[in-house]
Amino acid sequence: MNRATALRPDFLWGASTSPHQVEGNNLNSDWWRMEHQSQGHLELSGDACDGYHRYPQDMRLLAEAGLNAYRFGIEWARVEPEPGEFSRAELNHYRRMIETARDLSLEPVVTLHHFSSPRWFTDEGGWTSPQAVDRFTRYVVQVCDVLGDVSWVCTINEPNILALMTGMANAVADGADLNLGAGRRMPAPGTEIGEALVNVHRAAAAVVRERTSAKVGWTVAQQALVPVPGGEDLYDRLRWAWEGLYHQGAEGDDWLGVQSYTSQTVDEKGIVPAPESPDNTLTGWAYRPDALGIALRQAWADTGGRVPLLVTENGIATADDARRIAYTGEALRHLHAAVADGVDVRGYLHWSALDNFEWGHWAPTFGLIAVDRRTFVRTPKPSLAWLGSVARRRGLLEEETRQ
Ligand code: IFM
């Protein structure tokens, strides 16, 4: 048994979650309100996985399996439920989470914003309001009090998806009828909102650097776009709107988070929707474990090889756990190949630790651990033990990279 291309000895092997998707009862957030105003279009997050109370058990399961890192988030709507009113009790809650991770020898990777915001922030204009930088940095200053010994901090999760969601919400508010049904082409994230988010990120990153010794970055939803003949010009424009802008926003950062699930082609009309196929995942995305290799190489090239990469999300929505293992093994094979070609990758954090609330839907299950929605009992899937064994071996074996 030979080891495949060696990964760094301090490589992080872990899993990720976000607060709104696992905690439950995120009452003061804009997402909670949107779910309740959606007239049945969105399922409710409700108690979610009751992760707010059960995080010690979740972390223990990850650590016992052999993982050495856990990415989780701090929920702004809990910490600042009303403008300028900060909850010490909630900050202490997140401090306990950090300490619990440390006690279990899990490296905490802490996200400060993952899609959901306090209602009041959204009501006053959200990311495009002139106050956005002040509002977010005021919250980040408070959070820094509990970040103490945290080494990895993400300011904003998937700003490109946040820009897309903000643009779509604004369009709906202006009366647009957005039909995004199967076969429809997705709009691209608006670059104006993206630029606003870059400003917020830079300001927040400066606050974290000034007040802590953490390595700071943000995480981008990589599309692994590939042009087909005729789509080259549009490809360049779409790559900029989807990723380039955010990669440029990572200039000078300590790391960049790569989040990858699938790959899509670009023709002369734009991104080609994944054709219907029995191989598509439960989110309707094409089964493309090779996307991770494409995403890592594109992110590395876009940042001029100056910003180390951390895979902060990669996974598959499936009810078939053997398929999850196959997908992840193949994705890791592409990660090893990228590292062999000189891409600096610092860790792999699987999405997700738990079967959680997939933003308005419960059916797409991404978890290494199943959660009973009534009793909240956790049942680790074989994929958790499998990923833990890869982590203990510190990567794939040589023969596994040849499969
Ligand atoms: O569940 C989401 C996560 O919140 C952000 N990245 C993509 C995941 C799967 O859709």
What is the per-residue pLDDT for 3?
57
The amino acid at residue 104 is L
CB of 254 closer than 6 angstroms to any ligand 1 atom? no
Q: In this predicted structure, what is the pLDDT of residue 199?
A: 98
Cα 229 to averaged position of ligand 1 atoms, centre (Å) = 30
Q: What is the pLDDT of residue 4?
A: 63
The pLDDT of residue 403: 61
Q: Give me the domains of the chain, ranges plus CATH numbers.
A: 12-402 (3.20.20.80)
pLDDT profile of the chain (403 residues), mean per 10? 76 98 98 94 97 99 99 99 98 98 98 98 96 98 97 98 90 68 80 97 98 98 98 97 98 98 97 94 97 98 98 98 98 97 98 98 98 98 98 92 72
pTM (2 d.p.): 0.97
Closest ligand 1 atom to the C-alpha of 221?
Answer: 6
CA of 57 to the centre of ligand 1 (A): 22
CA of 213 to the centre of ligand 1 (A): 28
**What spacing in Å lies between the alpha carbon of 125 and ligand 1's midpoint?**
24
DSSP 2-63: -B-SPPPTT-EEEEE--HHHHS---TTBHHHHHHHHSTTSS---TTTT-HHHHHHHHHHHHH
Tell which atom from ligand 1 comes closest to the C-alpha of 366: 9
Instruction: State how beta strands 255-260 and 225-227 pair.
Output: unpaired
Nearest CA to ligand 1 atom 5: 158
Q: Is 158 in the pocket of ligand 1 (CB under 6 A)?
A: yes
Q: Is the CB of 355 under 6 A from ligand 1?
A: no
At residue 181, the pLDDT reads: 58
Extract the tokens encoding 269: 């009309």
Choose one of 16, 17, 18, 283 to mutate for the ligand 1 pocket test, by most ligand atoms within 8 angstroms of C-beta: 18
With a 6 A CB cut-off, is 313 part of the ligand 1 pocket? yes
- Residue 169: per-residue pLDDT: 81
- Find out whether the beta carbon of 253 lies less than 6 Å from any atom of ligand 1: no
DSSP string of 186-223, one letter each residue: PPPPPHHHHHHHHHHHHHHHHHHHHH---EEEEEEEE-
- For ligand 1, say whether the CB of 259 is within 6 Å of any of its atoms: yes
User: What residue's CA is closest to ligand 1, atom 2?
Assistant: 358
Enclosing H/E stretch for 89: helix 88-103
Ligand 1 pocket test: which of 31, 43, 158 has the largest number of ligand atoms within 8 Å of its C-beta? 158
